[in-house]
Amino acid sequence: MSLRAYKKKRDFAKTIEPQPSRPSSRDGHHFVIQKHDASRLHYDFRLEMGGALKSWAVPKGIPVTKGEKRLAVHVEDHPISYMEFEGVIPKGQYGGGTVMVWDIGTFELLGADDLDSGKLHFALNGKKLKGEWRLVRMRDGDQWLLIRGTDSMRPISKKMDDTSALSGKTMKQLAANGRTWQPRKPAQEPLKFIEPMKARLLKSAPSGDWIYEIKFDGFRAMAFKSNGDVRLFSRNEKDFSGKFSAVHDALARLDAHDAIIDGEIVALDARGRSSFQLLQRFELGQARPPLFYYAFDLLWLNGKDLTHEPLVRRKLQLEQILKNAPEVIRYSSSLGEDAAPLLPRIRKLGLEGLIGKRKDSLYEPGRRSGAWIKLKLHQEQEMVIGGYTDPEGARRHFGALLIGFHENKKLRFAGKVGTGFNKAILKSLHSRLEKIVFDSCPFANLPETRVGHYRQNITAAEMKRCHWVRPELVCQVRFSEWTQDGKLRHPVFLGLRGDKDAAEVIREKAAPP
């Protein structure tokens, strides 16, 4: 649906409802539930998606008991500005009656389903509602079921049910006041996106004045706070605000008027180690591990650009503003200045490696200048998915992914990865692969003339049994080594990297210090 249906049903000379504007190009992750006393009392449930509010009318209210189901009728999209609308729609107009902002907050999509599939799994973090729900489309395209998730929450009291989450007014007070909604005044220009600084892979630690920090295994994330608004982006400017709403909300409570912070979102395992596989399971809705945002650099603070200040001064200011930060946000402190004694300790703890930074380094957006370096204890890197093979035996969906990297602007095949998947990942990933089917092989170095010692090569005969996809998806793999002919030995799938652009994936080679 577009906002045309919304506009067609309303006479804006008579109703105080907000007029539609061009849908936003950026996806937010906010929700609103409006109690609507029209011809029949009902609740309008709205999710911010695709630059508009996807909307359902729920006649009997939101279910709060585990497994409870309520009919939800899909209606026309509403403009984002409708999020804070409450007041009285005149009688005789479409939806005439009193409207209250019953609940408002952020939501987080769980799993790989989407609106087109007819299934949505999400968690709400509102002023009244918290927890998981599902929306499932029935045979009638506009009729859905809204289902409470795996646990129950305390029923909403009568007083809370009749109290606006926005103004604190009752339905009676809103009806008496009549025209109450006023559009927000536009805020000043938000802080612009800054591409994160990159680290160069080295074989060993260099000489000089360095500090070393833990190399986390998560999603790099840039946090922007200005004018009371918080935005959380991946390294390639994808919005993380809804996916990691707990981090987003914690950042809003930071003791800073405006700031830009560089850090990493991680999921911690039982031993307190960051785990990319656990983070992948969280994205699929299979696990709810503790999530944290480890902040390691400060680029902007209260109107001042800090990128031209030395690292140690930036970190000192970052530590100061994080002193009373919510538990979700943690300061990534220096472990020491000498990598030699640190690496054995890091290895013993099962961590990925170290990040080294020159003490006097300036922040260089988007650059891999060598002022930051990484020392890896495990072989891991991103790979582009270019195809897959058929499953064998009891496995379903696909057998192995065909992966590669870019070299001289061409995609080179680097091997097959057939381990590291569970049933849910196989299913969700296969569903995504089916949507990007490609007619021809995207790898420039296929076919190969022989199978190879580790059976990672693909001959012309085997290519006939492969399925090709557009090289858009990026995955993270762990492996034991590179073979002499440029293939991965013993690769293991760790998860998808939605924060990486496929065109930027190259073979990482450790340089001498």
DSSP letter string over 153-177?
Answer: -PPPPHHHHTS-TTT---HHHHHHH
Phi first, then psi, for residue 151 (nearest 5°) are: -145, 170
- Claim to verify: residue 80 and residue 133 sit in the same structural domain: yes
- Claim to verify: residue 30 and residue 169 sit in the same structural domain: yes
Token reading at 72: 């939800």
- Claim to verify: residue 238 and residue 113 sit in the same structural domain: no
Q: Quote the CA–CA distance of 338 and 375 in Å, as a whole number.
A: 12
- Claim to verify: residue 472 and residue 397 sit in the same structural domain: yes
- Claim to verify: residue 317 and residue 450 sit in the same structural domain: no
- Claim to verify: residue 403 and residue 333 sit in the same structural domain: no
Which of 177, 212, 244 finishes a domain?
177
Q: Quote the CA–CA distance of 210 and 372 in Å, as a whole number.
A: 9
pLDDT value of position 188: 53
- Claim to verify: residue 302 and residue 341 sit in the same structural domain: yes
DSSP state letter for 250: H
In a domain, 512, yes or no: no
Amino acid at 327: E
Q: Do the Cβ atoms of 79 and 71 come closer than 8 Å?
A: no
Q: Quote the CA–CA distance of 469 and 403 in Å, as a whole number.
A: 11
In a domain, 207, yes or no: yes
pTM more than 0.75: no
pLDDT value of position 50: 81
- Claim to verify: residue 152 and residue 212 sit in the same structural domain: no
Which of 377, 394, 421 finishes a domain?
377
In a domain, 185, yes or no: no
Using CA atoms, how far residue 385 sits from 184, 256, 415, 429, 449, in Å, is: 44, 41, 10, 11, 22
Distance of CA 254 to the CA centre of its chain: 21
Query: CB-based contacts of 469: which residues, under 8 Å, 6+ apart?
Result: 385, 386, 387, 388, 433, 436, 437, 438, 442
Phi first, then psi, for residue 373 (nearest 5°) are: -135, 160
pLDDT value of position 22: 59
Report the DSSP beta bridge partners of residue 507.
Answer: none
**CATH code at 213?**
3.30.470.30
pLDDT value of position 27: 54
The sign of the dihedral angle between the CA atoms of 302, 308, 313, 318 is positive
- Claim to verify: residue 463 and residue 342 sit in the same structural domain: no
- Claim to verify: residue 208 and residue 289 sit in the same structural domain: yes
- Claim to verify: residue 367 and residue 432 sit in the same structural domain: no
In a domain, 391, yes or no: yes
Amino acid at 115: L
Q: Quote the CA–CA distance of 278 and 282 in Å, as a whole number.
A: 6
Phi first, then psi, for residue 506 (nearest 5°) are: -130, 170
Which of 177, 209, 230 finishes a domain?
177
Report the DSSP beta bridge partners of residue 477.
Answer: 381, 493
Is 215 one of the annotated active-site residues of the chain? yes
Q: Quick one: CA torsion of 402, 405, 408, 412, rounded to 10 degrees?
A: -20
In a domain, 27, yes or no: yes
Low-confidence ranges of the chain (pLDDT < 70): 1, 21-28, 178-189, 451-456
62 membership: H or E segment, kind and range = none
In a domain, 510, yes or no: no
- Claim to verify: residue 142 and residue 15 sit in the same structural domain: yes
Count up the domains in the chain and report the number: 3
In a domain, 187, yes or no: no
Which one is catalytic: 54, 215, 416, 487? 215
In a domain, 148, yes or no: yes
pLDDT value of position 187: 47
Q: Quote the CA–CA distance of 422 and 435 in Å, as a whole number.
A: 21
Q: Quote the CA–CA distance of 246 and 287 in Å, as a whole number.
A: 15
Q: Which domain holds residue 314?
A: 200-377
**CATH code at 429?**
2.40.50.140
Q: Quote the CA–CA distance of 385 and 469 in Å, as a whole number.
A: 8
pLDDT value of position 26: 47
